Amino acid sequence: MAESSNLAAQMDIDEQAIDEGLYSRQLYVLGHEAMKRMAASNVLIVGLKGLGVEIAKNIVLAGVKSVTIYDPEPVVIQDLSSQFFLRQEDVGKPRAAATLPRLAELNAYVPVRDLGGNAGEEISVDLVKGFQVVVLCGVSYKKQLEINDWTRENNVYFIAAETRGLFGSIFNDFGAKFTCVDPTGEQPLTGMIVSVAKDSEGLVTCLDETRHGLEDGDFVTFTEVQGMTELNGCEPRKISVKGPYTFTIGDTTNLGDYKAGGIFTQVKMPKIVEFKSLRESLENPEYFVTDFAKFDRPATLHAGFRAVSEFEAQHGRSPRPRNEEDAALVLDLAKKINADVEESTIKALSFQATGDLSPVNAVIGGFVAQEALKAISAKFHPMVQNLYFDSLESLPDVLPTEADCQPVGSRYDGQIAVFGKVFQEKIANHRQFLVGAGAIGCEMLKNWSMIGLASGPKGIIHVTDLDTIEKSNLNRQFLFRAKDLGKFKSEVAARAVSDMNPDLADKILAKQEPVGPTTENIYDEAFFGSIDGVTNALDNIKARLYMDQRCVFYQKPLLESGTLGTKGNTQVVIPHLTESYGSSQDPPEKETPSCTIKNFPNAINHTIEWSRTQFDNLFVKPAQSANAYLSEPNYLESTLKYSGQQKDQIEQIASFLVTNKPLTFDECIAWARLQFEKDYNNEIRQLLFSLPKDAVTSTGQPFWSGPKRAPDPLVFDSSDSTHLAYIIAAANLHAFNYGLRGETDPAYFRRIVDTIIVPEFTPRSGVKVQINDNDPAPQAGGDDIDDLISKLPAPSSLAGYRLNPVDFEKDDDTNHHIDFITAASNLRAMNYGINPADRHTTKQIAGKIIPAIATTTSLVTGLVCLELYKIIDGKKKLEPYKNGFVNLALPFFGFSEPILAPKQKYGATEWTLWDRFEFKNNPSLSDIVSWFQENHKLEITMVSQGVSMLWSSFVGKKKSEERLPMKFSHLVEHVSKKPIPPHIRHLIVEVMVSDEEGEDVEVPFIVVRI
Active site residues: 595
Q: What are the percentages of helix, strand and coil residues in the chain, rounded to 5?
A: 40, 15, 40
- Strands, DSSP E only, in 415-502? 431-435, 460-464
Three-class secondary structure of residue 559 per DSSP = strand
Q: Which residues share a beta bridge with 195?
A: 205
Residues 311, 996: Cα–Cα separation, whole Å: 73
- Residue 710, CB-side half-sphere exposure with 13 Å CA sphere: 15
Q: Are 43 and 64 in contact (CB under 8 A)?
A: yes
Q: Which residues share a beta bridge with 389?
A: 168
DSSP per residue, 767-806: -----STTSPPPPPP-TTHHHHHHHSPPGGGGTT------
Instruction: Please give, one letter per residue, the 3-state secondary structure of 287-306.
Output: EECCCHHHCCHHHHHHHHHH
**Is the peptide bond prior to 891 cis by the omega test (within 30 degrees of 0)?**
yes
Element (H, E) at 696: none
> Which of these, 275, 346, 363, 377, lies nearest to 29 by C-alpha position?
377
Type of residue at 984: I
Q: Is 834 exposed, middle or buried (0-12, 13-18, 19+ CB in 10 A)?
A: buried
DSSP letter, residue 320? P
Residues 289, 284: Cα–Cα separation, whole Å: 15
Residues 316, 309: Cα–Cα separation, whole Å: 10
**Is the peptide bond prior to 385 cis by the omega test (within 30 degrees of 0)?**
yes
CA-to-CA separations, 167 to 266, 304, 387, in angstroms, rounded: 40, 10, 11
- Residue 915, CB-side half-sphere exposure with 13 Å CA sphere: 14
Residues 675, 820: Cα–Cα separation, whole Å: 12
Angle at 276 between CA 332 and CA 160, to 5 degrees: 65
Q: Are 744 and 728 in contact (CB under 8 A)?
A: yes
Three-class secondary structure of residue 731 per DSSP = helix
> Which of these, 239, 242, 219, 223, lies nearest to 231 by C-alpha position?
223
**b or e along 328-357 (b: 16 or more beta carbons within 10 Å of the residue's beta carbon)?**
ebbbebbeebeeebbeebbbbbbbbbbbbb
Residues 497, 452: Cα–Cα separation, whole Å: 11
Q: Are 508 and 482 in contact (CB under 8 A)?
A: no
Type of residue at 729: A
Determine the straight-line distance between the first and last CA of the chain, rounded to whole angstroms: 77
Residues 742, 739: Cα–Cα separation, whole Å: 9
How many residues does this entry show for the chain?
Answer: 1010
Instruction: Please give, one letter per residue, the 3-state secondary structure of 904-945.
Output: EEECCEEECCCCEEEECCCCEHHHHHHHHHHHHCCEEEEEEE
Helix intervals (H) in 457-603: 489-500, 525-529, 541-554, 594-598
> Which of these, 88, 41, 34, lies nearest to 68 by C-alpha position?
41
Q: Are 27 and 20 in contact (CB under 8 A)?
A: yes
